[in-house]
Amino acid sequence: MSGLITRPREGDSFQKLAEAMGEGVLWLRGSSLRWANPAAEMIFGLGPAELTGRQLSELLGLSTAEHLQSRLQSLSSGQTTLPLSEVSFPRAEGEPGTIELSAARLSGCTDEWVLVFRDIHERRKAAEEHKAMELRVQQAQKLESLGVLAGGIAHDFNNLLMTILGNSSLALLDLPSSAAARKSIEQIETAAIRAAGLANQLLTYSGKNRFILQSVRISQLVEEMVQLLQVSISKKVVLQYRLEQDLPPAELEPTQIRQVIMNLVTNASEAIGEHEGLIIVKTGTMEADRDFLDSCYLGDQLLPGPYIFLEVSDNGCGLDPETQAKIFDPFFTTKFAGRGLGLAAVLGIMRSHRGAVQVASLPGQPTRFKIFLPPSRDTSAVGIEPARSGGLVNWRGQGLVLVVDDEEGVRKVVKMILEEYGFSILTADDGWEALEIFKAHTAEITAVILDLTMPHLDGLKTFQELRRLRPDVKVILTSGYSEEEAVSRFVGAGLAGFIQKPFNAVGLLEKMRQILETAT
């Protein structure tokens, strides 16, 4: 808009033009509205009688009106127009409105203006929604990239641990109980087992650690942890439970969800710090629609419908937006360095459970973490069985075993263990070499220990070729991934067994005994 405009009069060309415009037009004298076109009436939701004579402050709000009039009055006598600017105004109902406004001084007047504006509320809202969607996509891509990185690190880490754990466990089997070196080697083995647990957490974060899900009532799971949770938090913190007892069972792996609950509660305790505080653990059900799921981490992969939730809230210091954007990154912490995966493991476990996570927090306000799990199709919950550990074996085998792994350290330690216990060993560093060796010793080979992830020819294709050459060959698959993830592509194919890396001598020997003593 440029230049001077003559005062609108009944029936003149300016008024006719203004009445036909899609933009709103107001005639302003001082701070009072003298005339409005139909578009302005529609934008503000007021009729002609309601607009005419109304103060600008009544329309836009006092502070906005004063700011606009100050800008109009500050224009010098040589200036006749006010550039486009965004102005917000209150509505009688719903969200505030937003208009894009310009103004021109009326000809021959110092305090009369024509304001021309368009409603940009929907455009601005669409832009904000688009920006939010872009941020969700960026977050999803970041998490996916971190997951791929974590999975790769865990794979390499497990192969290194195989050498440490395999050699240390073999040494312990060979050493008498009175040997001075036993204590040192036991410490090495313990450290390797803890490191293997960290690698397993990395796999969990990557979403590659799948589990056998069971129908379990999550309130029951929390109740079984009450004592453990209490001793895991500050003595100044009160822990309250609001658990629904009639919840349907959820599809979950109990050990992993226990880890989620523990991580969320200890995270809440750390947020409270040394102060007195309150942590509330709550369970329930809710109906999640598309918009709600899109606001959650991992929610874009889920379908709207009923979900079982577990919520952990605290009255700690809250999280600013910058911190919220990083809380699920591996090893990120606002407290101490090197604490482990923490909330990152929570996200990985929920990814593996086809669940989602919601975070609600602002600086200085309570924080709420809420996880969502799909209800079980089987309405009867199963009991939760404790893990069982195997003992040492006093057993010797015989026969020719082909060990296939692209890591030299893994091949060497498996060869040492099996040779020590009576087996003859052939090794191959990839699938192609394994097939050539197998063709040369087809009738002699008793079993094949086969790595899943190898270059050139992976474990699945190598397995298929081995079975084609000899359908009754016993193949034990090895992988750093969980059994559920690793064998998912071998269902019904005739695998003899699976052993997860890193394994020790006892685990390998027990698996070999189990496979070879099983009748074909």
pLDDT at 384: 38
Q: Look at 110-114, 329-333, 483-487, 507-511 and tell me which has the smallest mean pLDDT.
A: 329-333
pLDDT at 194: 78
CB pairs under 8 A, 24+ apart, for 115-120?
115/24, 115/25, 115/26, 115/28, 116/1, 116/21, 116/23, 116/24, 116/25, 117/23, 117/24, 117/26, 117/40, 117/43, 117/87, 118/22, 118/23, 118/24, 119/24, 119/43, 120/86
Cα(329)–Cα(461) distance, integer angstroms: 35
pLDDT at 383: 42
Q: Return the higher-pLDDT residue of 363 and 108.
A: 363
- At residue 225, what are phi and psi to the nearest 5 degrees? -100, 0
Same domain for 251 and 307? yes
Same domain for 484 and 422? yes
Lookup: tokens for 218: 């999550």
Tell me how far the alpha carbon of residue 319 is from its chain's centroid: 17
pLDDT at 391: 43
Same domain for 74 and 178? no
pLDDT at 75: 66
Evaluate whether residue 314 is within a structural domain: yes
Which alpha helices (DSSP H) does 278-328 contain, by range? 290-294, 321-324
Q: Return the higher-pLDDT residue of 125 and 359.
A: 359
Q: Tell me what the mean pLDDT of segment 109-129 comes to.
A: 81
Q: Tell me what the mean pLDDT of segment 78-107 comes to.
A: 77
pLDDT at 465 over 50: yes
Band of pLDDT at residue 170, cut at 50, 70 and 90 = confident
pLDDT at 389: 34
Question: Which domain CATH number covers 175?
Answer: 1.10.287.130
Question: Which domain CATH number covers 432?
Answer: 3.40.50.2300
Number of compact structural domains in the chain? 4
pLDDT at 330: 65
Same domain for 317 and 430? no
> In b/e form, how buried is each residue of 319-345, taking b as 16+ CB within 10 angstroms?
beeeeeeebbbbeebeeeeeeebbbbb
Average pLDDT over all residues of the chain: 82
pLDDT at 520: 47
Same domain for 240 and 322? yes
Band of pLDDT at residue 142, cut at 50, 70 and 90 = low
Domain termination site, one of 172, 206, 240: 206
- Reference 192, options 161, 221, 154; nearest CA is 161
Same domain for 367 and 218? yes
Same domain for 219 and 80? no
Cα(121)–Cα(24) distance, integer angstroms: 14
pLDDT at 378 over 80: no
Same domain for 157 and 261? no
Q: In the β-sheet with 24-29, what is the strand arrangement from edge to edge?
A: 32-36, 24-29, 112-119, 97-105, 81-89
Same domain for 295 and 363? yes
Which alpha helices (DSSP H) does 91-236 contain, by range? 121-174, 182-206, 218-224, 226-231
The residues that bridge with 478 in the sheet, in sequence order, are 451, 499
Question: Which domain CATH number covers 93?
Answer: 3.30.450.20
For 38-90, how does the pLDDT look when each residue is reduced to its tens digit (9 = 90+)? 888 888 888 877 888 888 888 888 888 888 888 887 765 566 677 777 888 88
Q: Tell me what the mean pLDDT of segment 240-262 comes to.
A: 90
pLDDT at 392: 43
Q: Return the higher-pLDDT residue of 20 and 466.
A: 466
Helix axes 343-352, 182-206, angle to 10 degrees: 60
Measure Cα distances from 301 to 209, 246, 297 in Å: 18, 27, 9
pLDDT at 265: 93
Evaluate whether residue 389 is within a structural domain: no
Evaluate whether residue 319 is within a structural domain: yes
Same domain for 221 and 196? no
Q: Tell me what the mean pLDDT of segment 267-289 comes to.
A: 91
Q: Tell me what the mean pLDDT of segment 375-390 comes to.
A: 49
pLDDT at 329: 73
pLDDT at 381 over 60: no
Evaluate whether residue 7 is within a structural domain: no
Domain termination site, one of 206, 228, 248: 206
Contact between 297 and 356 under an 8 Å Cβ cutoff? The reply is: yes
- At residue 76, what are phi and psi to the nearest 5 degrees? -70, 170
Cα(170)–Cα(262) distance, integer angstroms: 34
pLDDT at 333: 62
Evaluate whether residue 413 is within a structural domain: yes
Evaluate whether residue 317 is within a structural domain: yes
Same domain for 153 and 171? yes
Same domain for 94 and 68? yes
For 321-345, how does the pLDDT look when each residue is reduced to its tens digit (9 = 90+)? 777 777 777 666 655 433 445 787 7
Q: Tell me what the mean pLDDT of segment 262-269 comes to.
A: 90
Evaluate whether residue 65 is within a structural domain: yes
Band of pLDDT at residue 423, cut at 50, 70 and 90 = very high
DSSP 375: B
Q: What is the domain extent for residue 331? A: 214-373
Evaluate whether residue 488 is within a structural domain: yes
Contact between 109 and 94 under an 8 Å Cβ cutoff? The reply is: no
Domain termination site, one of 119, 148, 180: 119
